[in-house]
Every structure is written in structure tokens, then in C-alpha cells.
Amino acid sequence: MNRLFANGLLRLRRRDFLKAATIATAAMGLPATMVDKVAAALKSPKRPPVIWLHFMECTGCTESLLRTSHPDVASLILDLISLEYHETLMAAAGPQAEENLRRAVEKYRGKFICVVEGGISTKDGGIYCKIGGRTALEILQEVGHASSALVAVGTCAAFGGIQAAAPNPTGAVGVKEIIKDKPIINVPGCPPNGYNILATIAYILTFQRFPELDDLGRPKFAYGRRIHDHCERRAHFDEGRFVEEFGDEGHRKGYCLYKVGCKGPVTYANCPTQRFCDVGVWPVASGHGCIGCTEPDFWDRMIPFYEHVPGVEVPSGQGIVGKAERIGKFALGAAAAGIAIHAAAGVIKKTTKKEEGEE
């Protein structure tokens, strides 16, 4: 019984449920023949208890999940699990909420999934994030260690996120830096795609194990390929057709956004195929480059957001495939080091322009 969301409040219509099961199956990279197996697992009355914690973040992960519809991904996820504690959604507040958390941990010790949103402050004993008088660090250590597994939802919980950006005044880190002895899946993105959260939970319920993860703990089915490898503007990149500045003719024609800062060549995620907001949109489709939000430290490593990844040879229409593949051999670390140098150069350039009285 889902005690927080009783009375079928969030029940999906059957048609939407099947659509969501189909989408989740596709998102997991499974063939359509698996839809029935996934749907059967999702319909199981045995729902795993989940304790959902919020720490340092903007709550955009939960908010973006709640804003989806047709089918309502949030409703489906909440139907799949038995949500025992969630600060944004629950009615309880104050001491009652704290008591609910304590009871849920005791009742389901060793059996519940702990979902975490937000980074965790570690500096000065973690005093920069406190909930009900306890630090996030203390709460995660207690709840995380009592769980059977953890899902770090969003780039903040996975890698520290925006509050971990240099100079990281609160010592913010992701879950993996705190909990070392439990299985942890990272589902990054700022915010992450709701369907990737759904597919991750659906995978665990269907197969009773974690999906294959990359070396950053992300499900390979969602983060196994670069944005650049399945971007709808890739043909323009290969042919050397670029947006030179926002609003120009190339921008109106939907050319490649590489020169105006797209970090698709060094970012791993399924945004071009999974897309957001039920209307098939994602950053590049709406005319803005990818800023690499699924990667660790992207606030530091992907800047300046509106300048191109340095060190990449730009195709001009000849020898295209070879040049494009060269981008694929860039390690993010190497590219990021280049970006850092580029960032400094960008600041110098802007300062010089200012001194010269230019805009």
C-alpha cells in the first residue's frame, strides 16, 4: 500500500500505462517483444519501498518529473513503488515528517531503495545543509546505509552538481563519495530525463538486478552514446554547415551548433532519442547547444558554454568522416582541460574588448 498516495490518486489509465511500458522498454534498449515482460513486472502488486531524500539542489529533478503528461511518468513511477517518504510530495511536515522518516527506515531496514536528489555538503562537518537540525551528511549516512541500494537522481546527487562548482564553498559531493558499501546507480542530467528514471526503476523491477553501468555508474542504455553520435544536426556537422552566431541564417536553417558552444561531442546521454516534455523537444532541437549537463563537474568543465570545444578540427565538407571520428577519440578529461584553457582565454578576450570600449 502506498501510504503517501492512497486511494488511486495517481492511477494511470491502462492505455497510458501500456504506452509508458513501451517507452520504458525502448529506453532500456530492449526489443518490442519485451514489452509484455516489462508490463507484467510493472503491474506486480509487490512494490519496493522507496525513501526519497532531498539535499542541496533546485528540486528541478522532481519538478520536471511532475510536469510530464501523456503518459504521466511521475504517476507511473509513483505507481511502481511504495513511496514512504518524499519531502516535496508528502503532506506531513516538521516533527511528523521526521518521525515518518525514522519509522520508514526502521520498518524497511535493508529492504528499501533510497533515491537521492541533490548534493551533500561535507565541509565543516556538513553544516551547510541541514534538515530538521541534522546535516544532509548525517541523514544520508544513516538512511543510505540502511537501504538495499541507492539511485542518485540528477547531476547534483550523482556528482555534486552546481553547488560543487569551483570553489565549491560547501564541499558538495555526490552520493558515491559518501556511501561506499551499497550498490548505487547514477541517473544524471540537470534535470535528468524522467523516462531515464522510469526506465532505470523498470529495469530493476523487471530483471531484479541493476542494468549494465558505465564507469561513472550510469546505465549504459541511457548514457552509452555521445549526444553527437545520434544528433539530428549531425549531417550538418559532417558537411561543415555551422551556426556562426545565434539568429543567423544557419541558425534559422537548423545547422550544427558546435561553433556556438554545443558540447554534444563530449557528452554522453540519450537526449536526441529520448527527448523531454512529451513534445519531442531537447536542447539542440530547440536551437541551443548541449551544455553537457550529464557529465561530472559540467559547470566547470564545459565553460564557456557559448564557445566551441577547443582542439576539435572542424569539417569543411571534405574528408568529413575521418575528421568527425577524431572528435570521438577525445577523452572528456583532455577536452575539458582544453576548455579550461579556452575559458581563461575567453575571459582575457572579453577584458581586452572592454578595455577597448567594445561590447
Cβ proximity to ligand SF4, 78 vs 291, nearer residue: 291
Q: Kindly state whether residue 291 participates in binding ligand F3S, applying the rule CB under 6 A.
A: yes
Q: Kindly state whether residue 257 participates in binding ligand SF4, applying the rule CB under 6 A.
A: yes
Q: Which residue has the cell 511536515?
A: 93
Cβ atoms of 41 and 202 within 8 Å: the answer is: yes
Q: State whether residue 269 is helix, strand or coil.
A: coil
Pick from 290, 327, 336, 339 the residue near ligand F3S by CB under 6 A.
290
Q: Which residue has the cell 518521525?
A: 99
Distances (CA, A) of 256 to 109, 177, 187: 50, 37, 27
Q: State whether residue 172 is helix, strand or coil.
A: strand
Pick from 118, 171, 217, 296 the residue near ligand FSX by CB under 6 A.
118
Cell for 335?
577536452
Residues 6+ away with beta carbon under 8 Å from 205: 41, 42, 44, 48, 80
Q: Kindly state whether residue 153 participates in binding ligand F3S, applying the rule CB under 6 A.
A: no
**Minimum distance, C-beta of residue 216 to ligand SF4, in the bound complex (Å):** 19
Q: Kindly state whether residue 302 participates in binding ligand F3S, applying the rule CB under 6 A.
A: no
Radius of gyration over every alpha carbon of the chain, rounded to an integer in angstroms: 22
Instruction: Name the E strands within the chain.
Output: 49-54, 82-86, 113-117, 120-121, 130-131, 134-135, 149-153, 172-173, 184-187
- Could you tell me how far CA 243 lies from the centroid of its own chain? 27
Q: Kindly state whether residue 265 participates in binding ligand SF4, applying the rule CB under 6 A.
A: yes
CA–CA distance, 283 with 49 (Å, rounded to integer): 34
Q: Kindly state whether residue 293 participates in binding ligand F3S, applying the rule CB under 6 A.
A: yes
Pick from 12, 57, 100, 221 the residue near ligand FSX by CB under 6 A.
57
Q: What is the DSSP letter of 135?
A: E
Cell for 35?
514489452
x-marked contacts with ligand FSX along 185-214 as a string, rule CB under 6 A: -----xx-----------------------
Cβ proximity to ligand SF4, 149 vs 314, nearer residue: 314
The number of residues that bind ligand SF4 (CB under 6 A) is: 15
Q: Kindly state whether residue 267 participates in binding ligand F3S, applying the rule CB under 6 A.
A: yes
If contact means CB under 5 to 8 A according to the sort of partner, which of ligand FSX, ligand SF4, ligand F3S, none does residue 160 touch? none
Residue nearest to ligand F3S as judged by C-beta position: 290
Identify residues 273-292 at the interface with ligand SF4 (CB under 6 A): 284, 289-290
Distances (CA, A) of 36 to 14, 32, 41, 226: 13, 9, 9, 30
**Minimum distance, C-beta of residue 132 to ligand F3S, in the bound complex (Å):** 32
Interface ranges with ligand SF4 (CB under 6 A): 227-228, 231, 233-234, 237, 256-258, 262, 264-265, 284, 289-290
- Residues within the interface to ligand FSX (CB under 6 A): 57-61, 117-118, 154-156, 161-162, 190-191
